[in-house]
Amino acid sequence: MQYRTLGATGMPVSALALGTMNFGRIGRTTRDDVDAIVGAALDAGVNLIDTADVYSGGEAEEMLGAALAGRRDDVVLSTKAGLPMDPSGSRQGASRRWLVRALEDSLRRLGVDHVDVLTVHRWDPATSDEETLSALTDLQRAGKIRYFGSSTFPAHRIVSAQWAAREHRLSRYTVEQAGYSVLQRGVERDVLPVTEQHGMGVTVWSPLASGWLSGMVREGREITTHRSQFMAARFDLSLPHNRARMDAVERLVPIADAAGLTMIQLALGFVTAHPAVSSALLGPRTVDHLTGQLAAADTVLPTDVLDAIDEVVAPGVDLAAHEKNDSPPALLDPSLRRRR
């Protein structure tokens, strides 16, 4: 297993980290499944585990907490808050009220007295940077979190938050969790350069592109990945962006074969090759899935392979930009771009 420092925090983290979105009902994993996955990950040298309050409505945190009993000090533990926990609209966002409440709930479910990283799951346009950073700074000073970060923030919001921390003499975001894969390279344009400029660590979500890069998705083969069962639109080949993804996959397969790599090794080796990236998050549902992904732990892609990938999907290009969850509010709400 390779290790990198998580930005300027000084914390060494494994280049492959364990993500827990599939823990619980979302991935149909049992308590025994989770115990086995966590144990296998730790035994393989994984030391960063990432979860979120919203995963299976808190069930993922509960399962993870139970699996970590007696091994809490072996891991860098990260959780997230901010996405809606129910339809009411009152249990979401990045206000002081909700972040304090959400963290307390997460600590209870995890069975711990602190987390190493608390991440704001999405930028909250309704809450000022000062409000959010002030709350997070107070939680840090209280010893309930060691560091805090952002997830899927556009580059200009990362810069704005860094400026606000300096202006108001508050602690700053030290980690960004970004969507990044061979098929979704948009963060290479602005987000990754900005995180490097500000000394932030980067953890990558969906490096296998929801299964597109798992090796299971091929032309002429029935798509049976777990994600395809509840996110059918992401695999509908009648849609132009999905057609583009399939065409890219078919061009990537011979590149992987020629290099003696699986598609998973190619995909994970690609994202961890970027100098801004600290760790790539795996999302296994079974120990077998984890084992296949951990085979990329020491994968280092040579220059000729990286060049070949650039020929398939150009640097900075997203093949399905609308799936990145980082569209500015004014692109989604017409009232925000029309003078009244």
- Counting the structural domains of the chain, the total is 1
Position 230 scores a pLDDT of 62
The residue behind tokens 């209280």 is 142
Dihedral sign (CA 151, 154, 155, 157):
negative
Radius of gyration, CA atoms only, the chain: 19
Position 227 scores a pLDDT of 67
Task: Quote the tokens at residue 117.
Answer: 């990283």
Q: What percent of the chain clears pLDDT 90, i.e. is strictly above it?
A: 82
Residue 246 sits in a domain whose CATH number is 3.20.20.100
Q: Give the Cα separation of 257 and 263 in Å (integer).
A: 8
Residues 6-17 have pLDDT tens digits of 999 999 999 999
Position 325 scores a pLDDT of 79
Residues 261-284 have pLDDT tens digits of 999 999 999 999 999 999 999 999
Single-letter amino acid, residue 78: S
Position 142 scores a pLDDT of 97
List active site positions. 55
What pTM did the predictor assign? 0.92
**Summary mean pLDDT of the chain:** 93
**Domain enclosing residue 143, as ranges:** 3-337
What is the distance, to the nearest Å, from the Cα of residue 125 to the centroid of all Cα atoms in its chain?
20
Query: What confidence category does residue 340 fall into, taking pLDDT thresholds of 50, 70 and 90?
Result: confident
User: 18 pLDDT exceeds 70?
Assistant: yes
Closest CA to 99 of 144, 57, 55: 144
